Amino acid sequence: MLPIDIILDRTSICNLTMERDVLSKAIENGEHIVIFGRRNTGKTSLVKGVCVPEFLVKRKKAVALEVDFLGVDSIAEVQTRLRIALERGLSRSFPNKQAAMKLVADDQTDDSMRLEQYFDEIARLASQYDLLLVMDEFQDLDFIKGAVARVRTCLQGISTKLPIIVLGSKKHLLAHIFAAYRAPMANWGKDLEISPVTSQKYQDEYFNYASSYFAAENLDLERKQFVELCRRTQGIPEAINIVLNYCLSKGKSLTSQDLATETAIHLTLLDKSSRFEEVLSRFSPNERQLLAAIAKFQPVPQLKSKTFLAHLRGMAPTSITTAAKKLEDKAEIYKEKLGYVVGDPLLGEYLKSTR
Ligand SMILES: Nc1ncnc2c1ncn2[C@@H]1O[C@H](COP(=O)(O)OP(=O)(O)OP(=O)(O)O)[C@@H](O)[C@H]1O
Ligand SMILES: [Mg+2]
């Protein structure tokens, strides 16, 4: 079976070799990088599954700190995430010295400055060891008033050439921090975009990789069907893997003669319908309606255009703005070049066929 929902290592990320090399060089040179891209394109895997292990193996006295800011809702929670990252990073590099590695910041009584103290600790480690700092889902700091500004100031205070990788999947929020006019971290780092499997090169590499899983089960994967699957899933690796796994689990080849992509997607959606319904039940009725309409007409260039509004029963333009913001903040919808699309391609297909 193809891997689902786990952090992949070097051998199971079949594409992204160019991105891997760019990152390795940047780490070597102590640069700052902002990685962005849609959900489930392999960003976390590339960093945590490939770059971090490589960084640690190559060096003798090295520490990698991996902070995850997913869903943080207060400064206290940000501090907890920093503490966890420090503790894990240190005990990974020095499994026998845990007691000696007690965090200085934890002894301080002034709770309000703990964030700054953890970053002081990071600066101290950077002066002692080869250090790599990774901050995943960085954009979620934008939900907490003042958090980005405080972290920015802390990062400015770290003077060594510390390699820092920031990553996230909510493009509009990352842009708000790094790219917008007068953004708080406007000149910080270099951008690296992780694209879905849409280019010929990525499709070739992915096809070879997926074919080997079919061959191992004495099944066939037809190139034409695979390309169609990439088109229907907007090239999102996890969605591709889910449909291919459906075929593998049923012992079916994906060829025009056996099981065609259209049917394979349809059957995968049937198989997962209760999961999708459960996901949908968590949205408000307005959000659900908007999501379903986007799924049907995507890409939607303008959510408040007359033609699109005609498909939304009884929703005022202001409720559309509110619902769209909620959905975008949760990466449930994305604004692509041609307009809004549903973030999870399979959920999009499910909505299209059931609503
Ligand atoms: N390049 C890839 N090759 C193979 N599988 C992939 C690839 N990228 C993603 N996947 C699949 O997607 C899953 C999630 O990958 P990962 O968590 O690294 O993505 P991500 O971009 O960090 O996602 P998110 O934005 O949700 O954090 C993997 O377990 C795997 O099933
Ligand atoms: Mg991730």
**How far are the Cα atoms of 23, 168, 209 from residue 228, in angstroms, in the given order?**
31, 28, 16
Is any atom of ligand 1 closer than 6 Å to the C-beta of 338? no
What's the CATH number where 101 sits?
3.40.50.300
Q: Return mean pLDDT, the chain.
A: 93
Say if residue 30 is in the same domain as residue 179: yes
Q: Which ligand is nearest to the CA of 5?
A: 1
For residue 160, what pLDDT is reported? Answer: 72
Give the domain range for residue 326: 284-354
Report if residue 259 sits inside a domain: yes
Whether the per-residue pLDDT at 303 is higher than 60: the answer is: yes
SS3 225: helix
- Final residue of a domain: which of 271, 299, 328? 271
| Cα 194 to averaged position of ligand 2 atoms, centre (Å) | 11
Say if residue 188 is in the same domain as residue 237: no
Say if residue 139 is in the same domain as residue 182: yes
Report if residue 7 sits inside a domain: no
Report if residue 2 sits inside a domain: no
Number of domains into which the chain is organized: 3
Say if residue 179 is in the same domain as residue 217: no
Q: Which of 199, 211, 238, 347 for a ligand 1 pocket mutation test, highest count of atoms within 8 Å of Cβ?
A: 238
Rounded to two decimals, the pTM is: 0.93
Report if residue 155 sits inside a domain: yes
Say if residue 92 is in the same domain as residue 172: yes
Say if residue 32 is in the same domain as residue 116: yes
Weakest mean pLDDT among 21-35, 98-112, 192-206, 249-263: 98-112
Q: At what angle do helices 345-354 and 273-281 cross, to 10 degrees?
A: 90
Q: Which ligand is nearest to the CA of 8?
A: 1
Is residue 310 packed enough to be buried (19+ CB in 10 Å), middle (13-18) or exposed (0-12)? exposed
What's the CATH number where 307 sits?
1.10.10.10
Is any atom of ligand 1 closer than 6 Å to the C-beta of 15? yes
Is any atom of ligand 1 closer than 6 Å to the C-beta of 6? yes
Report if residue 333 sits inside a domain: yes
Q: Which of 1, 7, 40 for a ligand 1 pocket mutation test, highest count of atoms within 8 Å of Cβ?
A: 40
- Per-residue pLDDT of 86-131, as tens digits, reads 999 999 999 877 655 666 666 666 778 899 999 999 999 999 999 9
Say if residue 133 is in the same domain as residue 222: no
- Final residue of a domain: which of 167, 193, 219? 193
Weakest mean pLDDT among 11-15, 298-302, 320-324: 11-15
Say if residue 58 is in the same domain as residue 121: yes
Say if residue 179 is in the same domain as residue 215: no
Is any atom of ligand 1 closer than 6 Å to the C-beta of 44? yes
Is any atom of ligand 1 closer than 6 Å to the C-beta of 11? no
For residue 181, what pLDDT is reported? Answer: 84
Contact 59, 66 (CB under 8 A): no
Say if residue 137 is in the same domain as residue 230: no
For residue 314, what pLDDT is reported? Answer: 83
How many DSSP H helices and E strands does the chain contain? 16, 7
Residue nearest to atom 12 of ligand 1 (CA): 238
Report if residue 307 sits inside a domain: yes
- Final residue of a domain: which of 174, 193, 212? 193
User: Which atom of ligand 1 approaches the CA of 169 most closely?
Assistant: 25
Residue given tokens 């409720």 in the structure block: 319
Report if residue 218 sits inside a domain: yes
Is any atom of ligand 1 closer than 6 Å to the C-beta of 4? yes
Q: Could you give the CA distance from residue 130 to residue 125 in angstroms, rounded to a whole number? A: 8
> Token digits for 120?
């002081």
Q: Could you give the CA distance from residue 161 to residue 249 in angstroms, rounded to a whole number? A: 48
For residue 97, what pLDDT is reported? Answer: 74
Say if residue 164 is in the same domain as residue 104: yes
User: Which atom of ligand 1 approaches the CA of 4 most closely?
Assistant: 31
> Token digits for 129?
């060891």
Q: Which ligand is nearest to the CA of 46?
A: 1
Is any atom of ligand 1 closer than 6 Å to the C-beta of 203? no
Residue given tokens 């390699």 in the structure block: 163
| Cα 238 to averaged position of ligand 1 atoms, centre (Å) | 6
For residue 112, what pLDDT is reported? Answer: 81
Whether the per-residue pLDDT at 337 is higher than 60: the answer is: yes
Report if residue 186 sits inside a domain: yes
- Per-residue pLDDT of 53-76, as tens digits, reads 999 999 988 999 999 999 999 999
Say if residue 21 is in the same domain as residue 80: yes
| More confident of the two residues 5 and 249 | 249
- Per-residue pLDDT of 174-225, as tens digits, reads 999 999 888 999 989 999 999 999 999 999 999 999 999 999 999 999 999 9
Residue nearest to atom 7 of ligand 1 (CA): 42
Residue nearest to atom 31 of ligand 1 (CA): 4
